[in-house]
Homo-oligomer: A and B are copies of this chain.
Amino acid sequence: MTEYKAQTTDMLFAMNDVLDYAEHYASLPSGADATPDIVHAVLNEYAKLCENVIVPINRHGDEEGCTWQEGQVKTPTGYKEAYEQYREGGWPSLSSSIEVGGQGLPASLSKIVCEMLVSASPGFALYTAGQSGAIETIAEYGSEQQRALYETKLVSGEWNATMCLTEPHCGTDLGLMKTKAEPQVGGTYKVTGTKIFITGGEHDLTDNIVHIVLARLPDAPQGTKGISLFIVPKFLSDDDGNLGQRNSVHCGSIEKKMGVKASATCVMNFDGATGFLLGTENEGLKAMFTFMNAARIATATQGVSHAEFGYQKSLNYAKERLQMRALSGVKNPSGPADPIIVHPDVRRMLLTQKAFAEGNRLLNYYLAKQLDIALESKSEIERLAAKTRLDLLTPIAKAFSTETGYESANFAMQCFGGHGYIREWGVEQNVRDARIAMLYEGTTGIQALDLLGRKVLANNAHSLIAYTNELRAYWSSVDLPESLQPQLNKLLNYIDTWLGATHNIGERAKQNMEEVGAASVSYLMLSGHILLAHFWLQSAFVAINKQKENIEKKDFYLAKVETARFYFDHLLPRCEGYLASIHAGADSMMSITEAQLAAW
């Protein structure tokens, strides 16, 4: 049984057939080299790396985990060699500027290929996540000298990097941050404090690790407006990157976690470590927000990775595992029982995974396209529109893709019956690894508040209305086959319902702000289901046309039409539950007292 097959066919379908990436890339400064042929080749090369080099280290990475001894972290056997191959393939540099040694391809392409790396090994993939964040941050805010030194070393993959935000008492609420940075003679800073949950804070994959640290200057305003960014490398270096003195930042311990065990999650102690200001004083959090959309799209993509991995494993198993006969009569007369794929409930679990994997893939590619436009378009209006769209949809994608990714991973396990609980099959690891994505980069609850409070109600639903108008205009403009008309009617009805629910919450929030929090997660899940209805209908529509011209891939296209139908029949109706909960409001959440909750 193949462990994992990169879904390049579907990735290209999403990019080229549904979302017009060819045209999109042609319009971007960075897209000159990103022709369909090149993109195809990039995906194929990356797929090979993932299937042949990364997949083989995944399972034992989970078993072996990382070890910590006297401040040093050892990654699992084979991880250093795999990282070396990843680096030699030039993958850290895919979307980075040519001037720092990058390949200068569009930002979206990095997000897109990432899916494969996470399916292949979520623990390994996390060593590349801090890397991307740091590269993007230094590229935007670094001085020329900082870019030449740090960005170059990171883009080449010689050095690795982290983002140091969380402290023991502050995760979501960064305003409570205590880590301080004191200015020194000569323009450097002494950074002191403890950061936790630092992914790849210490390891043996690279000679140096560059920490991007959020800290407070002595005279900084209170709360989130007093946070600045600092570069704190593990080893100080000269301008050419020749390593010098060991900096006083050390890994105090690593966490024992539910999953992603191959990734070292570190407590980092900064004891007057030498740091360099990155960007403007007290504008650290603003800088973080710039990159949060990118980081959240990357996390959303992890939801796709887990759904895809589980789907493949459980589909293969369901075709082979013989158990019981179909209720409608024997399907495998020569065997002692039928393969379990004949049973409708097994198909329900498989189709749910497929619907979420492929639906969320499209949603995330749509966002990745907006990310390119926001970064690169020559038109300020286009950049702003893309940014607004990203702001609106990114929290949905992050929370919805990871929630449904986890649900999918659980369905994969369920298809295996009791065998799914045993480690050797790898599907329980997928569940454990998938679980973190609903927590980090802002929990589902935080995404939901961001969506409903900040991105929808705070601007009178302006950007939501703009988006839904665009959806309506799109569906008016296409010549839809009669067979898809009932699905379109459902989608258009739900778009109305979505706007109606928004208005309703907005009105109630005028009386009681807690209505926003009470409705938020149901509202986000409702939004996600409606978005996926749009993307599934679009997939079916495109596929119906494509299957006529491409006989060879007929099954692939027909699967799109069938899965869309399943999605509208069996998953979209969950909206009804979310709507009823939204309309029921905050009262029965808020009226119970703490004493009553704990009355036992």
* A337 & B421 in contact (Cβ 8 Å cutoff): no
User: With A348-B518, A555-B593 in contact, do A445 and B577 touch (Cβ < 8 Å)?
Assistant: no
* B589 & A341 in contact (Cβ 8 Å cutoff): no
CB within 8 Å of B: which of A571-590? 573-577, 579-581, 584-590
- Chain A interface size band reads 35 or more
What is the bound-complex CA distance between A28 and B346, given in angstroms? 43
Say if the beta carbon of A420 comes within 8 Å of chain B: yes
* A596 & B555 in contact (Cβ 8 Å cutoff): yes
Contact of A323 among B9, B170, B588, B597 (CB under 8 A): B170
- Complex interface bits, A316-334 against B, C-beta within 8 A gives 1, otherwise 0: 0001001110111000000
- In the complex, residue of chain B having the shortest beta-carbon distance to the beta carbon of A323: B173
User: With A315-B597, A576-B580 in contact, do A592 and B559 touch (Cβ < 8 Å)?
Assistant: yes
What is the bound-complex CA distance between A520 and B570, given in angstroms? 13
Say if the beta carbon of A478 comes within 8 Å of chain B: no
CB within 8 Å of B: which of A272-305? none
What is the bound-complex CA distance between A256 and B62, given in angstroms? 12
CB within 8 Å of B: which of A437-459? 438-440, 443-445, 448-449, 453
* A418 & B326 in contact (Cβ 8 Å cutoff): no
Say if the beta carbon of A467 comes within 8 Å of chain B: no
* A424 & B327 in contact (Cβ 8 Å cutoff): no
* A573 & B562 in contact (Cβ 8 Å cutoff): no
* B319 & A594 in contact (Cβ 8 Å cutoff): yes
- In the complex, residue of chain B having the shortest beta-carbon distance to the beta carbon of A329: B513
Q: Which residues of A contact B (CB under 8 A)?
A: 5, 7, 9-10, 166, 169-173, 175-176, 197, 255-259, 315, 319, 322-324, 326-328, 336-337, 341, 343-351, 354, 410, 413-414, 417-424, 428, 431-432, 435-436, 438-440, 443-445, 448-449, 453, 512-514, 516-518, 520-521, 553, 555-556, 558-559, 562-563, 565-566, 568-570, 573-577, 579-581, 584-600
* A322 & B169 in contact (Cβ 8 Å cutoff): yes
What is the bound-complex CA distance between A315 and B593, given in angstroms? 12
Please indicate the chain B residues that have their CB under 8 angstroms from the CB of A172 in the complex. Answer: 323-324, 417
Work out how many copies of this chain go into the complex.
Answer: 2
* B347 & A589 in contact (Cβ 8 Å cutoff): yes
Contact of A328 among B423, B514, B565, B566 (CB under 8 A): B514
A-B contact pairs, 15 of them (CB 8 A): A171-B419, A176-B336, A255-B423, A326-B514, A343-B517, A344-B514, A344-B520, A345-B518, A414-B439, A417-B439, A555-B593, A558-B596, A559-B597, A562-B588, A570-B589
Please indicate the chain B residues that have their CB under 8 angstroms from the CB of A563 in the complex. Answer: 592
Contact of A256 among B328, B419, B424 (CB under 8 A): B424
Nearest-neighbour CB distance to chain B for A317, whole angstroms, equals 12
* B566 & A588 in contact (Cβ 8 Å cutoff): yes
Please indicate the chain B residues that have their CB under 8 angstroms from the CB of A327 in the complex. Answer: 453, 513-514, 516-517
* Nearest 4 CB-CB pairings of A with B: A573-B580, A576-B576, A569-B584, A344-B517
- In the complex, residue of chain B having the shortest beta-carbon distance to the beta carbon of A345: B445
* B573 & A588 in contact (Cβ 8 Å cutoff): no
User: With A414-B444, A597-B315 in contact, do A422 and B324 touch (Cβ < 8 Å)?
Assistant: no
Nearest-neighbour CB distance to chain B for A552, whole angstroms, equals 10
* B453 & A439 in contact (Cβ 8 Å cutoff): no
Contact of A438 among B5, B414, B514, B518 (CB under 8 A): B414
User: With A328-B514, A414-B443 in contact, do A600 and B7 touch (Cβ < 8 Å)?
Assistant: yes
Nearest-neighbour CB distance to chain B for A542, whole angstroms, equals 15
* B518 & A337 in contact (Cβ 8 Å cutoff): no
* A341 & B596 in contact (Cβ 8 Å cutoff): no
Nearest-neighbour CB distance to chain B for A564, whole angstroms, equals 9
- In the complex, residue of chain B having the shortest beta-carbon distance to the beta carbon of A176: B336
User: With A439-B421, A589-B351 in contact, do A345 and B173 touch (Cβ < 8 Å)?
Assistant: no
Interface core residue of A347, A414, A516, A558 (most chain B CB under 10 Å): A347
What is the bound-complex CA distance between A450 and B257, given in angstroms? 38
What is the bound-complex CA distance between A319 and B595, given in angstroms? 11
